[in-house]
Chain A
Amino acid sequence: MPEKDPRDAVITGIGLVSPIADGISEHYRLLAAGERVRPPVDADTYAPFPVHPITEIDLSTQIPRRGDQRQMENWQRYGTYAAGLALTDAGIAGESEILERTNLIVAAGGGERDASVDGDIVQGWRDAPDPGAFLNERLGSDLRPTLFLAQLSNLLAGNISIVHHVTGSSRTFMGEELGGATTLETAWRQIRAGQNDVFLVGGAYNAVRYDMVVFLAMSQGLWQGADVPDIWNRTGQQGGMVPGSMGAFLVLESRDHAEARGARIYARIEDVVTDRGARDGSERFQSRIERQLGRLDAAAGDAPIGLLSATSGVPAALAAERTMLDRITADRTAYVRGTGTVLGHGMEAQMPAAVALAAATLGEGSFYPPFAQAEIEAAATDTPSTVAVTGWGAWRGESLTVLSADNE
């Protein structure tokens, strides 16, 4: 275990809302209890494609002004809500001196579209005498200005600044799952290098939206049918992903900053490794896996580890990730859990959500019992002080985040 360093990046606040629970404590309680936890399934709205809707939440607890709520679409509400939870959990909500130098990095996707406007336009277009004029007229009369603002990807960050007064720098990354990982990586690198002390990073995703389901259906990556198997067991179909609505944010601080204000430290980030490239069994593909394995060994030694895989369940992506997971489990004791079984897949929010679960269990000095009935998810016989989070994106991009307990 590396020595503690004042420039360590530590996690001091977690905000997580998902299909199964509201808040990190409730997530931890559910998942640590050893009972079977599965997210609710809406198999009807976008049949044959199931989605996991978010659990019931009272937005007004984190977004008190109705006017602010009205200016957002659901993905922004979930994200702004989760950001508030993280700031509150870190004890810096309302602390203007800290918030003014808190740097925001958000992983975001595109904005939600109006299903009825889009549906009416495609329906009416064919019969319109002048399709170009028809489109201009319908867009001009049917689009709402507020909706446009809700569609701008950086407006999740904008809303977080307005509602929670986080006003250091503000960046929005767009690389899907990899974008979620690079929010963590960028914050971790800046803290390690002494460029900044406090970050709020994360992402949000709304699975219950027509445009996203149509788009993901085009990828052939979605699971079909009301029966949703555990993430490892989605075989026999072309796809495997079941989108899940979630918001996941983390407060990251330098150790000296966190300790100076007496903050609770859940875990420290040892390493974040990100990359991309063809998943073709080539030498380059193998070398990317070797790089992750090497960095994991450097951070964890040969001690047992917990491993949260944030795989989407899309077969080709899971196969690539399994190539690496199988190497890890062959080399060392690793207790693997697939977060997709309990949360669904939250795209940009997926990596922050998995890291949130990893930090929570390290903070509790424990590790989760298996999430799924699967050979890869063995029960833990001891408590690992390192948890790795892996995630090979549904079609591209991969990351490894290594966290360790900070209590020894």
Chain B
Amino acid sequence: MSSATHDEKGRPIVAITGLGVVTSLGQGKDDNWAALTAGTSGIRRISRFPVEGLRTTVAGAVDFIELDEFSAPALTETLAVMAGEEALAQAGMPTSDTFPGPLFIAVPPVELEWRQRLALFEAGKAGEGWHRMLDGAQHGDWVEMYRTFSFAGIEERVADRFGTQGAPISLTTACASGATSIQLGVEAIRRGDCETALCLAADGSVHPETVVRFSLLSALSAQNDPPEKASKPFSKNRDGFVVAEGGGAFVLESLEHARARGAEVLAIVKGCGERADDFHRTRSKPDGSSIIGVFRDALKDADLTEADIDYVNAHGTATPENDKMEYLALAAVFGDALAAIPVSSNKSMIGHTITAAGAVEAVFSVLSLRTGRLPPTINYDEPDPTIPLDVVPHVARDVPIRTVMSNSFGFGGQNVALIFAAEPF
């Protein structure tokens, strides 16, 4: 069935022709890749707001971007646009106004923040508490603020910014969102709805309530000192993730379309696997069956076997639960072969970029394919003996790879794995 432009299942092969990324390590692929492969951490003490009284005081915030006033939608939109511009430029496409396909964009659920709630309260003339906020909403012009914080606000503005076609889809699948945005693009191209798709994911929502909420779920590391040591995937003393910010962007095209216009093909999306878990709101099924199914589905979708996977870019959050379950599922699927597959976690350096993670880490996965360099898992000072993985400890490794699997798991039972492959296709 397969041909130069179609896969074994007769579907159009989906090519990657543009990549963009922003994290706490910097803006753009070059800076990020240099820092990431040097084992540099982007985790720092939070300076955006007072941390007094917080259990966790570190984050991977993107604090080198000037905003008139921080808000999650403002920073998220900026990160999405920065990553998108980089990807479009690499793809050799105009970086504004005229993208010839749909937009899929993963964004965090946004809502009014405390600054806005206080402003409403101060504008109120009667009542107490939230009643005064309701009164405040009737005094003054809040329409622009409404649109900024509206659930459709970011997709609306980013769609205008890039001139994407038709209705954009903004989505959330919690910590798997970035991977889902890529999946939606792959599916649209495979079914022939479009020749190209812009898949973005961004998260700029490190504010007090985010930190407190994840803390209350016991999800965050509280080992604040030194900040760069807080994120310890696969370590015995790991105690949670470090919340972080970032943006990732993919220009996807049918391989046929990319070749016809002479674009450089960076890699292809070989396969996707996804399943929802029905066990618990924050934990995987104890037998790992859902994640195991995701890996197998991804391999099947890619027409590959376990032996074909050269490297795994792990979800690797550094929560006790995630790393244990991810290993369990990898071991179940890859068996003895797992010992020879490097499995590293970008989150040891950039933290957990939540909504953006699936796309940010997919960008790094493709850069590994391109360069033959695997970023390390840093802070691997006390290996967890129950997780005997080759985590590429401490320093990057040069090893040519042809395939990589990038994993993303989220609260609410969201499980996704993407497989990318290098030439020849």
Q: A residues within 8 Å of B by Cβ?
A: 46, 48-49, 71, 104, 108-111, 113, 115-116, 118-123, 125-126, 130, 132-133, 135-137, 139-140, 143-145, 148-149, 151-155, 157-159, 161-162, 165-176, 178-179, 181-182, 185-186, 189-190, 192-193, 195, 210-211, 213-220, 274-276, 393, 395-397, 399
Contacts and interface: CB of A to CB of B under 8 A. Distances in A.
Contacts of A169: 274-276
Contacts of B156: 276, 396-397
The 3 closest A-B pairs by CB, nearest first: A119-B129, A158-B412, A132-B50
B276 A176 contact: no
B120 interface: yes
B259 interface: no
Contacts of A178: 152, 167
B170 A149 contact: no
Contact of B114 (A121, A155, A173, A220): A121
Given A161-B276, A175-B151, A178-B167, A170 B131 contact: no
Contact of A214 (B120, B122, B170): B120
Interface of B: 49-55, 107, 109-112, 114, 117-118, 120-122, 128-134, 137-138, 142-143, 145-147, 149-152, 155-156, 159, 166-174, 180, 184, 187-188, 190-193, 208-209, 212-213, 215-217, 274-282, 290, 410-414
Given A152-B411, A182-B169, A219-B142, 5 more contacts: A118-B117, A122-B117, A135-B114, A195-B190, A218-B143
Most chain B CB neighbours (cut-off 10 Å) among A135, A189, A214? A214
A175 B168 contact: yes
Contact of A165 (B143, B151, B278, B412): B278
20 contacts: A113-B111, A115-B129, A119-B133, A125-B118, A136-B52, A140-B215, A154-B172, A157-B276, A162-B413, A175-B152, A175-B169, A179-B152, A193-B191, A214-B133, A215-B111, A215-B137, A217-B137, A219-B147, A276-B159, A399-B167
A168 B155 CA distance: 26
Given A136-B52, A193-B191, A162 B213 contact: no
Contacts of B132: 122-123
A161 B277 contact: yes
A152 B110 contact: no
Contact of A148 (B188, B213, B279): B213
Nearest to B138: A217
Contacts of B171: 171-174
Contacts of A396: 152, 156
Contacts of A110: 109-111, 151
Contacts of B190: 193, 195
A19 to B, nearest CB: 21
A143 B130 contact: no
A116 B128 CA distance: 10
Nearest to A272: B167
Contact of A140 (B54, B111, B147, B172): B54
B180 to A, nearest CB: 6
B137 A139 contact: no
A176 B277 CA distance: 26
Contacts of B128: 119, 123
A158 B413 contact: yes
A148 B282 CA distance: 11
B192 A162 contact: no
Nearest to A120: B129
A168 B107 contact: no
A165 B413 CA distance: 11
B111 A166 contact: no
Nearest to A291: B166
Contacts of A122: 117-118, 120-121, 129-130, 132-133
A214 B142 CA distance: 11
B213 A175 contact: no
Contacts of A125: 114, 118, 121
A215 B146 contact: yes
B170 A179 contact: yes
Contacts of B53: 133, 136-137, 140
